[in-house]
Structure 1
Amino acid sequence: METTRNHVRRRRVLSVGAALTAALALPSTRAVAHPGHPGPGTPAPPLPAEYGRGWQPLKPIGSGPRQEHAVAALGTRLYVVGGIHPLPDGTFETTGHVEVYDTRTRRWTRAAPLPVPMNHPNLAAVDGRLYVLGGLAGGASWQALGDSFAYDPRTDRWARVAPLPEGTERGSAAIGVHGRYVLLAGGMRTLAPVPGGLQDTVDTVSAYDVVTGRWEALPRLPEARDHVGGAVVDGVFHVLGGRDRGQENVRGEVFALDPRGRRWRTRASMPTPRGGIAAAAVGPVIYTFGGEGNPAEHTNGVFSETEAYDTVRDRWYILPSMPVPRHGTAAAAVSGTIHIPGGGTRLGGAPVDTHDAYRPRRGR
């Protein structure tokens, strides 16, 4: 594999070769596109998708296009939770729908919906259950919700758990799991999906104990982040890339926290700073996909980059680009294959039902 010094040159080559992520029921909410960007329901025109080199197309999301959702895996099943989807009148609806993809049968089914519809939900899988710990919802302005729920796949039911403490409510946080703790870093309290609308990014870091139901504050991030990647590898919580108060304010820094030492450290930065990424870990490597805020022409403002961070060597590697570049999606690994369902294909809201997967080669 090439070193970081050769990343820029190699990235240009790759981008040419592969240009082409039971309780309270509240009403769904509608919204327009993200600030200053094209209107909803207008995904980018399809381009020839170049699969191979670890990439494969899979069956599209069963219920149709989805964006700003969360993804997690329980066993061999992949869960797509919440988000937004387009309506016939050109607006978006925040949804609580939960779609389940069985990686063995390659079929989509429905699970019980979230009791409270959310976009940008904070989702984690711990000990056979799913946990949604806050998110965003609303109409003209998406506001943070502290509502939190646990899902048991054996009963197909959601149950309320302790909400985020007052003042820490947020969506779009980096998520990691450390033993019985779900870790949340950064996120946003407000996203006004109108031109020039407020995007309120935070540096808050929290831990939720799924056994006791208690919340704990952890040291704040060195810098505020939202739409950011997160993963725990070997007990260390990594927060990768993201943005700060707007799609164009992309960041490439990587911060790492050992919850026992309670100190953030700065690691090697991403070759391509990006927000709105999908991220998942396989072994000691964290893989990052796509993102939003690409200033280059003919990209629709979306990144196609696939970049992998080796947590042992503190080094980045550039891998084959996404066949269908997207942002506003999420990723989860099942048996070493990383699934990336849904997302948007242009700046702002442009949901698609695309579901593809990347299988890393051994050692990368």
Structure 2
Amino acid sequence: MKRIIITAAVAALTLPATAHAHPGHPTTPTAPVVNPVYDDGWQQRAPIAGGPRQEHSVAAIGRHVYVVGGIRPDGSGGVVTVPDVEVYDTRADTWRKVAPLPVPMNHPNVVALGGKLYVLGGLSGGASWQALGDSFVYHPATDRWTALPPMPQGVERGSAAMGVHGTRVYLAGGMRTLTPGPGGLQDTVADVHSYDVLTRRWTTLPSLPEARDHVGGAFVGGTFYVLGGRDRGQINVRDTVYAFAGGRWTERAPMPTPRGGIASAVVGTKIYTFGGEGKVVNGVNTVFSETEAYDTRRNRWEKLAPMPIPRHGTAAVGVGDTIHIPGGGNRGGGAPMDVNDAYRPR
């Protein structure tokens, strides 16, 4: 394995701490929501207080779910990348704002570890979103972000599959460029790296068998799973499941429904996947409603009750025995919503 040692001082931030409008990224009006069915483990929770959000990330510290970055409508037919961070109290069913990211990001790579939030790069920019290497750690006790050494050159990307094991954060796949619109560049990568939060060292690991972005990721036991996703475009969805253990990747039982733009979370030894994008209906890119769970012990999948409001470009996290899924879009492309649902497996 190639080990990248970071010893340099923290670099200056590459973007100002202001929102970035993207007039070339039109929003798609959200689809009408007609009588969503909340049963079979689904619950409707308080909507995101700050309004619609999409292409964000989430992580949980205790009973609190943090919604980090993303995009929202800019009020003039486009979208804006935001630094906003909101916290959902899963017990009280309430929202509050905390200190924003120092740099606005969409598709940020976010995990919780040791009672802190780590953000290791993401995407932002103008008409074409580009990878940022800016990295930060958030301290809930002081409500402050601290800059970390940036990601090494060539490692930067957003929309990676994320996992945590011990003191190391794992990133698999992702994308370096996302240009929305027909024929827009989507630079998907197969790179895999880990970052040790104690030593602040990056390690290069064996690449994924195929490039992936907008993909599910999770550790169960000592194995890192990468599920579904897409390769260079919204409709180029994949059903593959890769598992990393013992320094190598192996292929596991495929997803019943190939999907990209999914949300994923762990309860027990199962990985639950929700929604996604790339379902082509009459030539139009639409959104999946599927909820499917992967049993890591038995290496098999099961289909579960669909999402009451199908979405993509969202994220999920387990708190106890319940999975929380705030935001996302219910039409292909940018269609941010403030929906906040919870799913409790039965």
Please tell me whether residue 338 in structure 1 is matched to residue 329 in structure 2: no
Q: Report the Cα offset of residue 298 of structure 1.
A: 11
Q: Do the aligned residues in 2 keep the contact of 1:69 with 1:81 (CA within 8 Å)?
A: yes
* TM-score normalised by length of structure 2: 0.94
Q: d(CA) in 1 for partners of 2:296 and 2:91?
A: 30
Q: Paired residue for 2:196, among 177, 192, 209?
A: 209
List aligned pairs for 1:258-269, cutoff 5 A.
258=245, 261-269=246-254
Partner of 1:244: 231
1: CA distance, partners of 2:283 / 2:291: 18
Q: Does 1:26 align with 2:17?
A: yes
Deviation at 1:162, TM superposition (A): 2.1
Could you say which structure has the higher strand fraction? 2
Give me the identity figure in percent. Answer: 64
Equivalent in the alignment of 2:343: 358
Structure 1 residue 194 displacement after superposition:
3.0
Deviation at 1:296, TM superposition (A): 3.1
Shift of 1:32: 5.2
Cα separation, 2, equivalents of 1:124 and 1:33: 30
**What is residue 278 of structure 2 aligned with on the other side?**
293
Q: Distance in 2 between matches of 1:57 and 1:160?
A: 36
What's the RMSD between the two structures over aligned residues? 1.6
User: Which residue of 2 is the match for residue 19 of structure 1?
Assistant: none
One-letter code aligned to 2:21:
R
Code of the aligned partner of 1:90? G
Q: Is the 8 A contact 2:243 2:251 kept in 1?
A: yes
CA distance in 2, matches of 1:184, 1:163: 15
TM alignment of 1:187-336, pairs within 5 A: 187-258=174-245, 261-296=246-281, 301-336=286-321
1:30, distance to aligned residue in structure 2 (A): 1.8
Q: Which deviates further from its counterpart, 235-244 or 186-195?
A: 186-195
Deviation string, structure 1 residues 58-96 (Cα, Å, up to 9, x no partner): 000010000000011000000000000001111100000
Q: Note if contact 2:137-2:146 (Cα within 8 Å) is conserved in structure 1.
A: yes
Instruction: Provide the C-alpha distance between the structure 2 equivalents of 1:142 and 1:354, rounded to a whole number of angstroms.
Output: 25
2:117 pairs with 1:130: yes
Structure 1: unaligned runs, 5 residues or longer:
1-22
- Deviation digits for residues 91-135 of structure 1 (CA, Å, limit 9, x no counterpart): 100000000001111110001000000000000000100000000
Q: Which structure's relative contact order is higher, taking Cα pairs within 8 Å and 6+ residues apart? A: 1
After superposition, the C-alpha distances for 1:216-238 in whole angstroms (9 at most, x for unaligned) are 11100000000000000011000
Residue of 324, 332, 346 corresponding to 1:347? 332
Q: Deviations over 1:280-315 (max 9, x none)?
A: 011100000000001135996000000000000000
CA displacement at 1:140 relative to structure 2:
0.5
Checking the alignment, whether the CA contact within 8 Å between 2:321 and 2:345 is kept in structure 1 is: yes
**Structure 2 alignment gaps of length 5 or more:** 1-12
SS of 1:293's equivalent in the other structure is strand
Residues 104-115 of structure 1: matches in 2 within 5 Å?
104-115=91-102
2 CA distance for matches of 1:32 and 1:226?
Answer: 24
Comparing 295-304 with 340-349, greater Cα deviation is found at: 295-304
Match in the other structure for 1:9: none
Q: Please give the residue correspondences for 1:60-139 in structure 2 after superposition, counting only pairs within 5 Å.
A: 60-139=47-126
Q: Distance in 1 between matches of 2:305 and 2:24?
A: 29
Q: Distance in 2 between matches of 1:26 and 1:296?
A: 40
Name the SS of the counterpart of 1:294 in structure 2: strand
Report SS of the residue matched to 1:347. coil
Residues 198-231 of structure 1 show CA distances to partners (whole Å, capped at 9, x for unaligned) of 0000000010101111111110000000000000
Structure 1 residue 195 displacement after superposition: 2.8
Is 1:78–1:103's contact at 8 Å kept on the other side of the alignment?
A: yes
Asked whether the equivalents of residues 277 and 285 of structure 2 are also in contact (C-alpha less than 8 Å), the reply is no
Report what 1:51 is aligned to: 38
Classify the secondary structure of the residue corresponding to 1:295: strand
- The answer as to whether partners of 1:253 and 1:267 remain within 8 angstroms in 2 is yes
1:132-169 CA deviation, whole Å, 9 max, x = no partner? 00000011000000000000100100001122110010
Q: 114-123 or 294-303: which moved more?
A: 294-303
C-alpha change, 1:152 and 1:119, in structure 2 (3 Å) is same
**Contact kept in structure 2, 1:289 and 1:322, CA below 8 Å:** yes
| Matched letter for residue 280 of structure 2 | P
Q: Paired residue for 2:9?
A: none
